[in-house]
Structure 1
């Protein structure tokens, strides 16, 4: 594969992977404006995040079999077209209930990029190159939580929140055109692949019989759920309580996201000297302590804007150590059924994120306490699952396998 052609394919696959993060992060600075125009409050607007997470979690399970049955590009065209139409509907939404429903459809369409890009990396490149290619994809994906909220903040301030979704429509159209004109079909349709529910559910059931997967997938999911609680609650906390502007919130979100990205790179270096099994409990303990510190500070009014940003940054940086290692341990035992394990792991993660973001809305009381409480709750839930579950886990993989999977997972978060 020629260098320039290869770079273009990697760039397009990176854009496909970034659809979900951009769709989550870019409209966050517009929460107060959306709530005001739709005659509701920010807690109800946060439910548009919950519906989006539900769409992503269910969509991943749908597209896996479709991509194997019909090839990569036909499901990709369908999903991107649905994403574009639903995003256009979001820009024209006249009520919060309409926006919640359209965000669900937007997620169902957009998550095809997350699933298809991973599958096409395996199709288009040598197996030995896959970890390197995933790392290159993250050069595109990794900047999304830094650029998206900042860009969304400026668009909201200058043009209004509806133009944020207009920008996402434009991004979706560009990606679809690139997929049609440049990206090759990487897998022929398989008419023998069964879409019968019994066959698909049987593969998922085999995964759930592995205790190592169950314990570490749930542990990783709840550490990640703390991030979604932050995403759901931070617009209210920083813009309405601390008075940050849309532009300032974009920069705050970028700083916190930068801490998470930095932590993943530090984790990659630490793995040279220790094991994933040792990193996970230590990182979760630090996350629990930081979550309690954040909650106590909000209850007794210790923290201002800057200190709150720093503590949130530390809390979420812990995910950069916990999630890739827990995910690597969870998926390491699987050779033949790794695809089903990966899809289920993504589904569990998004369901936990849906629950945490919904709890932030349910507990909303015009203070910063609900966000901090749910963040801390997620960390302690993860610790409880890990401590309880480790007693029954029988590891079915070598430490070398875990470290290899952990390095691969680092390139996918």
Structure 2
């Protein structure tokens, strides 16, 4: 397929620069998700509560990411991409300040929800920006490059969070996130072009009709579920990993951060293969390989956990293989889902985000609610999500756009 990038004669340098800028704008959300995880024990002590209660602030953040994308996606279709980014990033900045000043766990949970709502703009709108300009494997390459930048978040955020907590205390993490929001806002103002012309913007009623069309599109909805449930596999891991590694296996926060960073490297590294692999195998075969690998790997990890075999190294390597597969699945699945919906890219992107973070919030809640002092709640939830993702993929791939292979 001839990409719009090629049609515009865009140079490789400007292509990479665009991916870098969009990745940096999107980075605030992943940073806010992971950076404070190593600080859970200190935060619980400082706020006079338990780690399980602090974990609810992660659940509230994920829930906000599910809700908020349905605000900013349609807003970007109606008013343009940049105004939606302005509103979301301003809310992110204000709520980050609020979280840093929180004196009780309940206040932290509320501010984290608002922070997640603001982060939605930086996570949903860049996908729509890409769909405005690119299609096919070129879009997959742009998304994979953006993922490479975004992966800095889970790669460095636990390490940075640990360092900030040890030197300045847990509130410094949220001041750092405030600064990240300011940088993202400055990039939007100075570097991000408006990609949705006024003539292409839709009215409020057209947005609602567009939602209706998307929700009736069997291929799109199943693709959204395939991607969302795959992401929920990751969120189940994020939710359970601090307890599993720092309590069961007694890793220090620094050691845990290194384990988490290794997983992020696997995800971001494999994402760079998505474009070439999509050209070689086609979207359907590639996605079939990925969802199948996730289902097999998570099931194997659950069996190992039930039989009390292996150990920490087996868990680390197994999860790394799952995330390697997901690094390919997410950008290719997103391209497939958005391919036929360029006129409603913001709304379609919002639904994809909602599916991922709603499933992620539910998975996070299940892991916390089922906690029994072992790794089984985490492994069982990961397996269930991977199997459901494979089931959704069987329908999504059957009704995929014919020109994607």
Please give the range of the TM-score, normalised by the shorter of the 2 chains: 0.7 to 0.9
1:397 maps to which of 384, 398, 401 = 401
What secondary structure sits across from 1:93 in the alignment?
A: coil
8 Å CA contact 1:328, 1:402 repeated in 2: no
What secondary structure sits across from 1:94 in the alignment?
A: coil
Count the aligned residue pairs.
395
Of residues 292-301 and 222-231 in structure 1, the stretch that sits farther from structure 2 once superposed is 292-301
| Compared CA separation, residues 119 and 299, structure 1 to 2 (3 A) | closer
1:312 maps to which of 297, 307, 319 = 319
Q: Does 1:224 align with 2:226?
A: no
Q: Does 1:60 align with 2:69?
A: yes
1:45 maps to which of 54, 79, 84 = 54
Of residues 23-32 and 3-12 in structure 1, the stretch that sits farther from structure 2 once superposed is 3-12
Equivalence for 2:30: 21
1:114 maps to which of 109, 120, 123 = 123
| Compared CA separation, residues 40 and 184, structure 1 to 2 (3 A) | same
State the alpha-carbon separation in 2 of the partners of residues 7 and 380 from structure 1.
Answer: 35
1:146 maps to which of 148, 155, 174 = 155
State the alpha-carbon separation in 2 of the partners of residues 335 and 9 from structure 1.
Answer: 19
State the alpha-carbon separation in 1 of the partners of residues 201 and 335 from structure 2.
Answer: 31
Q: Does 1:349 align with 2:356?
A: yes
Equivalence for 2:183: 174
State the alpha-carbon separation in 2 of the partners of residues 8 and 279 from structure 1.
Answer: 27
Equivalence for 1:93: 102
Equivalence for 1:408: none
Equivalence for 2:7: none
Offset, 1:230? 0.6
State the alpha-carbon separation in 2 of the partners of residues 397 and 315 from structure 1.
Answer: 26
Q: Does 1:288 align with 2:295?
A: yes
Offset, 1:181? 5.1
Equivalence for 1:302: 309
Equivalence for 2:3: none
8 Å CA contact 2:141, 2:275 repeated in 1: no
State the alpha-carbon separation in 1 of the partners of residues 285 and 17 from structure 2.
Answer: 39
8 Å CA contact 1:11, 1:140 repeated in 2: yes
Offset, 1:161? 1.8
The normalised TM-score by structure 1 is 0.84
What secondary structure sits across from 2:27 in the alignment?
A: helix
1:262 maps to which of 265, 269, 283 = 269
8 Å CA contact 1:71, 1:190 repeated in 2: no
8 Å CA contact 1:211, 1:394 repeated in 2: no
8 Å CA contact 1:70, 1:188 repeated in 2: no
8 Å CA contact 1:67, 1:116 repeated in 2: yes
**Aligned residues: CA RMSD:** 3.1
| Compared CA separation, residues 62 and 85, structure 1 to 2 (3 A) | same
Provide, for residues 227-248 of structure 1, a one-character-per-residue CA deviation record: whole Å limited to 9, x for no partner: 0111111111111211111111
State the alpha-carbon separation in 2 of the partners of residues 192 and 313 from structure 1.
Answer: 41
| Compared CA separation, residues 158 and 64, structure 1 to 2 (3 A) | same
Provide, for residues 54-74 of structure 1, a one-character-per-residue CA deviation record: whole Å limited to 9, x for no partner: 212222111123224334443
Provide, for residues 2-26 of structure 1, a one-character-per-residue CA deviation record: whole Å limited to 9, x for no partner: 9999987664432211111111121
Offset, 1:381? 1.6
8 Å CA contact 2:131, 2:338 repeated in 1: no
8 Å CA contact 1:70, 1:190 repeated in 2: no
State the alpha-carbon separation in 1 of the partners of residues 144 and 291 from structure 2.
Answer: 25
Q: Identify unmatched segments of 5+ residues in structure 1.
A: 404-413
| Compared CA separation, residues 183 and 274, structure 1 to 2 (3 A) | closer
State the alpha-carbon separation in 2 of the partners of residues 118 and 34 from structure 1.
Answer: 34
